[in-house]
Every structure is written in structure tokens, then in C-alpha cells.
């Protein structure tokens, strides 16, 4: 009965779209380009891709195996597999991380809404210099009333969908809109690559300069791989728990990872050529995408149409990601605390808004959150992005691999993945990755970062 109440995806394609919807979001289009730009380009991209395949895909499958077996939220899942142990606290860390990421992610998603509005009223259809675009951006993100209101609007949209449950709201939003986003991205990439000076951007993105690599770059690449795939906090445990029993979950997991990575690279193909073409510095930080994009729209025929379509789809991509963040927290309160879905969605959404306010004030809205928060040299928002988006996910992924590899056991995980009757291809390799390669690689990165204190 529990299953019937919790809901289920209508099939494999629906799951792929929903999980891809979770994975594809601002992480690909906002976070990937600016992080690659701050960390020197090609070498970062190469390390990021390495982590996607060596750590990301194994962790996707590890999370899905737990979700499918237990049909539970992250805390309940560990309670079911290893009751009376400390493991459920790992699930708890995941739920807390989801909440924390949502609190700043919703702020950025709010910026997207504002750009959508700007596009609709025709601000981004004509030519715009880098400096003009920068001005607009700084003005927008520094306006406290606007950023706080847009954060609220975005969380409200998220709550309205999550309260309806998995198949009602989430599936519908992704089925048509994700493919549309892809088409628009391809068009923008073609435009950007053919801009004067665009090839320089491609070189920056793909030609590794290994002298740029240090601990911080490696940590950022690992954090980005996990963040982009929605890993390390139980989102895929939760989504896997709704997976129909008779479908091939392995194929679905791989498809999601490949889609997500493809979209990130596509975003890179849009941003980097354009950035060199208009003369914006690659390491301009979190505002990069917002500042660079208007210049591409200005150079396109029917620029306003593309601007509207792009910001609308980006808002929706962000929405399918905030849905997954809130869904993890909601499923915990529904399964473990007996709340109704409706109550959990509203209360948690409202609480998250409250915690998001300092992030909304982090770019000029309030001085204390904007510069050098707690002496870290970062704003409140950027600091949260590093703590939860890099460190917490990395620690979560490390412990998850240790759990699946050494506590629960690879055979049990594989039995769960194969329970539909589809055999796992390359299962030996996958076992080695989960048991040895992932924990060792992730462990080394963490120890190195702490030892050298290159946290950011």
C-alpha cells in the first residue's frame, strides 16, 4: 500500500525525463561555465569529465539501487537497510543539504525570472555591450526587494508542483520542456561558435593547460560533477524509489548522466565563444552567464524571440531542479514524520524562503552578506554554494560509496539494479568503481584539500 500512496513514475521514459529534469538546471547553464572559467578552462573541463565517468555514474547507480530497493526517502532508506546504526544520519545530512542548496538555488532561479521578464518587455532583443549588460546585472542582483520577491515567487512555484506529487506535477513539466530547451541550446551554440572571435572560446574550453591545476580546481571539478548530476544528498535515492519495478534502471541512470553532461558542454559552447567575442573575462564569477548571454541574443535575427524562449526554458529547467530538492525534504517529512504532502510542501517551502533571504541579499542588498562573509572572502551565497554544493555533496558521495561497497554490499546493490530482470553490463568494473575507485579518489581529494587548506 505504501507504494500506492507514494506514487510512481509512469514508465522508464518518464523517470529519465524527471531525473534529467532534476540534474539539468542552473548547475549546467550557470554553474558549469563560471566554474570552468574561474578554474582555467580546458584542464578543469577534462577533470570534470573524468569525475563524471569515474565517480558520477557509479554514484548515480549506487543511489538508485538504494532507492529502488527500499522505496524510501534517504533517511528511511538507511533505516530500512541498517536499522539502529549511524547510517540514517547520512540520510539526514542529505536532507539538510537539499534544503540548504534549495535556499540559495531559488535566489538564482529568481534572477532567471527577472531576465525572462526583461526579455518579454524587449530589453534583450537589440545590440548590447558587455558593460551595459554588466550594469543591468549588478542593478538587478543588488535590489533587495526584487531579489527577495523573486525568490519567494520561485519557491511558491516549486511548492505548487511538489504538493501534487511525482507523476502529477513533475513529469508533466519535463516531458515537453526539456527537449525544447535542448533545441534552443543547440541554436544558441551554433550562433555563438560562429561569432567573430568565437574560436578562441572553444580553445579555452577544450585545450587543457595543466599548469592551472591545483587542489581547488580538482575539488571544484568533483563538486561540479556531483552537483550537476544531483548526487551526494539522496535525490537519486528518492527518485529511484519511485521507479517502476519492471523497468531497466541501469540504462535510465546512464541516460540521465549522459544528457546532463551533454547539456553542460553545450552551455560551455554557448558561453565561451560569446565571452571572447564581446570581451568579458572568463573568470568574472557567478554573474558570467547572465552578463554574457544578452550579447548573443542581440546578434541573432529574432533575438527577442530567442531571449524569451531561452529564459523561459531556463526557468523551467531550474524549476524541475528545485522540485527535486524540495521533494527530498518533503518525502522525508511525509515518510518519517507522517506529515501530509500538502503540509510538508507548504511549511518547508516557507521555511526555506526564510533561510534564503541572506542569499538574496548577498550581491549588494546588504553589505554584511555581500563581501567577505565571516572573513572567507566570499559572499554568503557563494560560501553556501561551496559548503553545501561542493563539500557536503562530496562527503555524502564518499560515505554513500563506502556504504554500498563495504556495508550493504555490491551484490545486494546489483540485485536491486537487476530486479527488473535486466542484467547489468560491465558489472565487474562497476563494482570496482564503487568499492575502490570512488572512495579512494574522493577521499584523496578531501584529505588533500583539508591538508593544504585550498577550500575555494
Q: Which grid cell sits at 436?
A: 575502490
Number of residues located near ligand TRP, criterion CB under 6 A: 16
Q: CA 150, CA 105: separation in Å to the nearest integer? A: 12
In the complex, least distance from residue 96 CB atom to ligand TRP, rounded to whole angstroms:
12
For residues 233 and 69, the answer to whether their CB atoms sit within 8 Å is no
Which one among 16, 17, 20, 23 touches ligand TRP, defined by CB under 6 A? 23
Verify binding: residue 295, ligand TRP, rule CB under 6 A. Answer: no
Q: CA 274, CA 439: separation in Å to the nearest integer? A: 38
Sign of CA dihedral 142, 315, 312, 160: negative
Nearest residue (CB) to ligand TRP, 270 versus 325: 325
Verify binding: residue 324, ligand TRP, rule CB under 6 A. Answer: yes
Nearest residue (CB) to ligand TRP, 23 versus 93: 23
Q: CA 189, CA 186: separation in Å to the nearest integer? A: 5
Sign of CA dihedral 203, 204, 205, 209: positive
Verify binding: residue 26, ligand TRP, rule CB under 6 A. Answer: yes
Which one among 12, 28, 88, 242 touches ligand TRP, defined by CB under 6 A? 28
In the complex, least distance from residue 61 CB atom to ligand TRP, rounded to whole angstroms:
16
* Dihedral-angle region of residue 424 (phi above 0 means left; psi in -120 to 50 means alpha; beta otherwise): beta
Piece of 26-34, 141-149, 171-179, 283-291 that binds ligand TRP (CB under 6 A): 26-34
DSSP class of residue 31 equals I
For residues 291 and 137, the answer to whether their CB atoms sit within 8 Å is yes
Across 341-361, b (16+ Cβ under 10 Å) vs e yields beebbbebbeebbeebbbbbb
Verify binding: residue 363, ligand TRP, rule CB under 6 A. Answer: no
Verify binding: residue 22, ligand TRP, rule CB under 6 A. Answer: yes
Question: How far is the CA of 143 from the CAs of 114, 131, 244, 375, 396, in angstroms?
Answer: 11, 19, 46, 24, 35
In the complex, least distance from residue 229 CB atom to ligand TRP, rounded to whole angstroms:
6
Nearest residue (CB) to ligand TRP, 58 versus 364: 58
Verify binding: residue 315, ligand TRP, rule CB under 6 A. Answer: no
Nearest residue (CB) to ligand TRP, 27 versus 298: 27
For residues 349 and 99, the answer to whether their CB atoms sit within 8 Å is no
Nearest residue (CB) to ligand TRP, 134 versus 315: 315
Nearest residue (CB) to ligand TRP, 195 versus 260: 260
Piece of 170-178, 321-329, 339-347, 363-371 that binds ligand TRP (CB under 6 A): 321-329
Which one among 75, 235, 289, 398 touches ligand TRP, defined by CB under 6 A? 235
Piece of 44-52, 223-231, 278-286, 397-405 that binds ligand TRP (CB under 6 A): 223-231
Verify binding: residue 225, ligand TRP, rule CB under 6 A. Answer: no
Contacts of 407 (CB under 8 A, 6+ apart): 82, 87
Contacts of 79 (CB under 8 A, 6+ apart): 72, 88, 91
Distance between terminal CA atoms of the chain? 47
Which one among 204, 227, 310, 373 touches ligand TRP, defined by CB under 6 A? 227
Contacts of 200 (CB under 8 A, 6+ apart): 273, 276
Verify binding: residue 101, ligand TRP, rule CB under 6 A. Answer: yes
Cα angle 281, 288, 105 (rounded to 5 degrees) comes to: 155
Verify binding: residue 400, ligand TRP, rule CB under 6 A. Answer: no
Which one among 134, 230, 304, 416 touches ligand TRP, defined by CB under 6 A? 230
Piece of 81-89, 169-177, 229-237, 276-284 that binds ligand TRP (CB under 6 A): 229-237
131 C-beta neighbours (distance < 10 Å), count: 12
Nearest residue (CB) to ligand TRP, 22 versus 304: 22
Nearest residue (CB) to ligand TRP, 269 versus 319: 319
For residues 312 and 59, the answer to whether their CB atoms sit within 8 Å is no
Nearest residue (CB) to ligand TRP, 25 versus 40: 25
Task: Give the footprint of ligand TRP on this chain (CB under 6 A).
Answer: 22-23, 25-28, 101, 227-228, 230, 233, 235, 321, 324-325, 393
Amino acid at each position: 500500500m505504501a507504494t500506492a500512496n507514494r506514487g510512481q513514475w509512469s514508465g522508464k521514459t518518464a523517470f529519465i525525463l524527471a531525473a534529467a529534469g532534476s540534474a539539468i538546471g542552473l548547475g549546467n547553464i550557470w554553474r558549469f561555465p563560471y566554474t570552468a572559467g574561474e578554474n582555467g578552462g580546458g584542464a578543469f573541463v577534462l577533470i570534470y569529465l573524468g569525475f563524471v565517468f569515474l565517480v558520477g555514474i557509479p554514484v548515480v547507480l549506487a543511489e538508485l539501487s538504494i532507492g529502488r530497493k527500499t522505496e524510501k526517502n534517504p533517511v528511511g532508506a538507511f533505516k530500512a537497510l541498517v536499522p539502529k546504526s549511524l547510517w540514517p544520519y547520512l540520510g539526514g545530512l542529505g536532507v539538510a543539504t537539499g534544503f540548504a542548496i534549495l535556499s540559495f538555488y531559488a535566489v538564482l532561479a529568481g534572477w532567471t525570472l527577472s531576465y525572462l521578464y526583461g526579455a518579454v518587455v524587449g530589453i534583450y532583443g537589440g545590440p548590447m555591450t558587455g558593460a551595459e549588460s554588466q550594469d543591468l546585472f549588478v542593478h538587478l542582483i543588488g535590489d533587495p526587494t526584487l531579489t527577495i520577491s523573486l525568490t519567494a515567487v520561485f519557491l511558491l512555484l516549486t511548492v505548487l508542483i511538489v504538493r501534487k506529487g511525482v507523476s502529477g506535477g513533475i513529469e508533466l513539466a519535463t516531458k515537453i520542456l526539456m527537449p525544447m530547451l535542448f533545441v534552443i541550446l543547440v541554436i544558441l551554440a551554433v550562433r555563438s561558435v560562429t561569432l567573430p572571435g568565437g574560436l578562441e572560446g572553444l580553445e579555452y574550453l577544450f585545450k587543457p593547460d595543466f599548469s592551472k591545476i591545483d587542489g581547488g580546481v580538482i575539488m571544484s571539478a568533483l563538486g561540479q560533477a556531483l552537483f550537476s548530476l544531483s548526487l551526494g544528498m539522496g535525490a537519486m535515492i528518492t527518485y529511484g524509489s519511485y521507479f517502476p519495478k519492471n523497468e531497466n534502471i541501469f540504462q535510465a541512470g546512464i541516460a540521465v548522466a549522459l544528457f546532463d553532461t551533454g547539456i553542460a558542454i553545450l552551455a560551455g559552447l554557448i558561453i565561451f565563444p560569446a565571452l571572447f567575442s564581446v570581451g568579458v573575462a572568463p573568470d568574472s564569477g557567478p554573474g558570467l552567464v547572465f552578463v554574457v548571454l544578452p550579447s548573443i541574443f542581440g546578434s541573432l535575427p529574432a533575438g527577442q524571440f530567442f531571449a524569451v524562449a531561452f529564459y523561459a526554458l531556463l526557468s523551467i529547467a531550474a524549476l524541475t531542479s528545485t522540485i527535486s530538492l524540495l521533494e527530498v525534504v518533503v518525502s522525508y517529512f511525509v515518510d518519517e514524520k507522517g506529515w501530509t504532502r500538502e503540509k510538508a510542501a507548504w511549511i518547508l517551502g516557507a521555511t526555506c524562503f526564510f533561510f534564503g533571504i541572506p542569499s538574496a541579499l548577498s550581491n549588494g542588498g546588504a553589505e554584511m552578506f555581500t563581501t567577505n562573509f565571516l572573513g572567507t572572502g566570499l559572499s554568503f551565497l557563494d560560501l553556501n554554494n561551496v559548503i553545501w554544493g561542493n563539500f557536503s555533496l562530496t562527503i555524502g558521495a564518499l560515505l554513500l560509496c563506502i556504504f554500498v561497497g563495504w556495508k550493504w554490499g555490491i551484490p545486494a546493490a546489483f540485485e536491486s539494479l537487476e530486479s527488473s530482470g535486466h542484467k547489468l553490463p560491465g558489472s565487474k568494473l562497476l563494482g570496482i568503481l564503487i568499492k575502490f575507485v570512488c572512495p579512494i579518489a574522493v577521499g584523496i581529494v578531501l584529505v588533500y584539500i583539508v591538508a593544504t587548506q585550498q577550500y575555494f
